Structure 1
Amino acid sequence: MSALFEPLTLRSLTFPHRVWMAPMCQYSAAPEGPLAGVATDWHFTHYAARATGGTALVIQEATAVSPEGRISPYDLGIWNDTQVEALRRITGFVTEHGGIPGVQLAHAGRKASTERPWKGGAPVGPEAHGWQPSGPSPVAFAEGHPVPHELTADEIREVVGQFGAAARRALAAGFKAVEVHGAHGYLIGEFLSPHGNHRTDGYGGSFENRVRFALEVVDAVRAEWPEDLPVLFRISATDWLEEGGWTGDDTVRFAALLKEHGVDLLDVSTGGNAAGVRIPVAPGYQVPFATRVRAETGLPVAAVGLITDPAQAEKIVANGEADAVLLGRELLRDPYWARRAARELGAEIRTPGQYARA
């Protein structure tokens, strides 16, 4: 039997196999007005295609816990009930066709208020539906980016509360797994790394202080999320800086704390917190970071990053390098990747009756 297509259980939730969809922003919601952040027909079609394509866990793109937490003005949100109603259509379809609907809860921090990637991705101001971003310290992400507003202690507590409220709405929307976005240089990752966190209060300086915000967010989410359903956390395992950044050692240490705070699986990516760094991109280049976390902490992990071939994915799971694989761009290219992989590896997965004759 294929290891990639064996079920995996986290708490009471059993995933039919280990081919999962990584969160990938679509930048396709209205930027303002009563439909701001609300899922559209594009979102429904996008996620429905991956569900009928056989993907076991369909994680919805970074979904902002507040208007200011969006990466772009066109991101999805989960800060009001209108957004919840639109999401129920997506989660219902994914569930009906054998998938597990998941959602990534996010706050973009100092990397917020940017244009859509195909429009250049540069920071935008009020004239283009933008706003002033916020972060742990008044340090811009890169040249040409605005200096963010430094969050006060009271504002930090407010954001923690927004994550908790978002988890409550995610449950009402029908999601079965929730992922906290702590990667790629967005707000939580900014607090974790000394590269972007220059605070001198209880949220900066030492490792213990820099992880405080992340753990408070996890606790707020876990308090709202059912005990029998899993919480995932996405991490950038390294900033790829020679010094002054977040490291693989930090990730292992932090993963052990996340496990104590009720996180069930670590989604291991890298980078995004420092501009202009050299990243040794190659097939599976991030997998060793996931493998190390799994080996040293016992926390289940998912690997992501240039995993494109079924045999490659099978090897990662069969060798115990990760418990699941997350596909990003590959699922944009091929929504039916899971079906193709199952056929190549001699496995069987659920097929919609409408497609059975194929």
Structure 2
Amino acid sequence: MAIGLNQTNLFQPIHVGNMKLNHRIAFAPTTRLRATDDHTPSDLMLRHYSDRAQTPGSLIISEATLISLRAGLYPNIPGIWNDNQVQAWKKITDAVHAKGSFMVCQLWFAGRVGSPELLKKHGLDLVSSSALYDSEDSKKTAEAVGNPVRALTEEEIKSIIYEDYKNAAVNAINGGFDCVELHSAHGYLLDQFLQPAANQRTDNYGGSIENRARIILEIIDLLSETIGSERVAIRLSPWAKFQGMKAEKDTVHPITTFSYLVNELQKRANNGKQLAYLSVVEPRVNNNVDVNLADIAGSNDFIKQLWKGNVLQGGNYTYDKPEFKSLKADVDGDNRTMVAFSRYYTSNPDLVDRLMKGLELSPYVRSLFYAPYNYGYNTFPNFDEELQYDHETEKARRPASLI
């Protein structure tokens, strides 16, 4: 049996915003397509999140949650723009709180990588910072259904900030979440504005780094005033090449762009608007796929040099298990670093306990990540336990609304 991590900083308590965590392991945002067809959180999700909150004082971050209909749409992705969704999420956050844990809602606007077909069914356009696609395949798909991507107007940008994001943040707090996290990573809308690979605007939201970061900082400032900065966090992926980011025509080094944004966040912290945490995706992963060790480029060390608050780092911290050398180095290197897990949290509902005691981790099953049924979602047991279920029954079990 491997030696557990209970003697590392990973199992020291930490204050994050208004939350007092008993350890520094977080359940990272993990899209699994188990909401109902109308984007309402389901009974399957209630069980899934509750099980992973079983160790008191855990930090559970929701899967990417759509802030409005126009945010992009994918099948069976949860939303948080209407009352039914809020009521359903409240049942989930209540269950997490009953375990003594905390829950964050990740606010998501997909932008140009949303479903042009589903958007069209609702009479909505596929939108982005600029009329650029992330790939030729995306272009063909959008044009085939008659919903080509177009650039948002400044008026629409203001509406998304002051209506969609504000409504979603208020709904999240009303739905029992302890905090919200802006999804500004992996080539989704906020990342599409931030990075020149996707942003060719020449107005107040394009061109200079200051202009490209404007939408993010406006949202941060608005939500800090609306729900309190201690209830706001943000996720960034400086090195991810996912969904058209860091294309060859991107001549601006990511450190230049992201240093400006992080420095602005620190300025706000210095003026009393400290965010709960800053989440950064390590260059060891590209969205949900590992990067070959020989191909890893870049480091997030520059962020820690600029940002003095809590940092949540995520991305293949299990590649060197059971020694976990990189994890130990990061969490023991300071007193403000947390570590996020996604794939292994899927297959190990008691992941916190296993890491503490050095217990073997159950392998995840990638082919079941985005399946539409319960099998492979709520059918992983705790260590040395056995769940009694019928495979075919669970494969036939679809999400049911909590409302």
Q: By the TM > 0.5 criterion, same fold?
A: yes
Under a length normalisation based on structure 1, what TM-score does the superposition of the two structures give? 0.83
Where 1:4 maps in the other structure, the secondary structure is helix
Q: CA deviation at 1:73?
A: 3.3
Gaps of 5+ in 1: 114-122, 346-354
Corresponding residue for residue 324 of structure 1: 338
CA distance in 1, matches of 2:81, 2:35: 14
With over 3 angstroms needed to count, the CA separation of the structure-2 counterparts of 1:19 and 1:61, relative to structure 1, is: same
Task: Map 1:287-326 to 2 at 5 A.
Answer: 288-289=299-300, 291-308=301-318, 309=321, 311-312=323-324, 313-320=327-334, 323-326=337-340
1:249 to 256, 268, 272: 256
Q: CA deviation at 1:230?
A: 3.2
Is 2:276 aligned against 1:269?
no
Size of the aligned set, in residue pairs, is 329
Corresponding residue for residue 231 of structure 2: 230
Corresponding residue for residue 159 of structure 1: 160
Q: CA deviation at 1:125?
A: 4.9
Q: CA deviation at 1:204?
A: 0.2
Letter of the structure 2 residue corresponding to residue 318 of structure 1: D
Corresponding residue for residue 120 of structure 1: none
Q: CA deviation at 1:280?
A: 4.2
Corresponding residue for residue 126 of structure 2: 133
Moved more, 213-222 or 259-268: 259-268
Corresponding residue for residue 259 of structure 1: 266
- Is this contact kept in 2: 1:269–1:286, CA < 8 A? no
Gaps of 5+ in 2: 1-6, 143-147, 360-381, 386-403
Corresponding residue for residue 9 of structure 1: 15
- Is this contact kept in 2: 1:193–1:246, CA < 8 A? no
Letter of the structure 1 residue corresponding to residue 239 of structure 2: T
Q: CA deviation at 1:13?
A: 2.0
CA distance in 1, matches of 2:159, 2:85: 20
CA distance in 1, matches of 2:192, 2:282: 13
Q: CA deviation at 1:310?
A: 6.3
Where 1:203 maps in the other structure, the secondary structure is coil
CA distance in 1, matches of 2:61, 2:298: 19
2:358 to 344, 349, 354: 344
Question: Sequence identity, in percent?
Answer: 29
With over 3 angstroms needed to count, the CA separation of the structure-2 counterparts of 1:180 and 1:18, relative to structure 1, is: same
Where 1:225 maps in the other structure, the secondary structure is helix
Task: Map 1:99-118 to 2 at 5 A.
Answer: 99-113=101-115
Letter of the structure 1 residue corresponding to residue 192 of structure 2: E
Letter of the structure 2 residue corresponding to residue 142 of structure 1: S
Q: CA deviation at 1:259?
A: 2.8
CA distance in 2, matches of 1:102, 1:202: 31
The structure having more radius of gyration, on CA atoms, is 2
With over 3 angstroms needed to count, the CA separation of the structure-2 counterparts of 1:72 and 1:28, relative to structure 1, is: same
Under a length normalisation based on structure 2, what TM-score does the superposition of the two structures give? 0.74
Letter of the structure 2 residue corresponding to residue 344 of structure 1: G
Higher relative contact order (CA 8 A, sep 6+): 2
Letter of the structure 2 residue corresponding to residue 232 of structure 1: A
Moved more, 240-249 or 134-143: 240-249
What RMSD in Å do the two structures reach over aligned CA positions?
3.0
CA distance in 1, matches of 2:89, 2:309: 30
Moved more, 55-64 or 236-245: 236-245
Corresponding residue for residue 177 of structure 1: 179
CA distance in 1, matches of 2:297, 2:231: 23
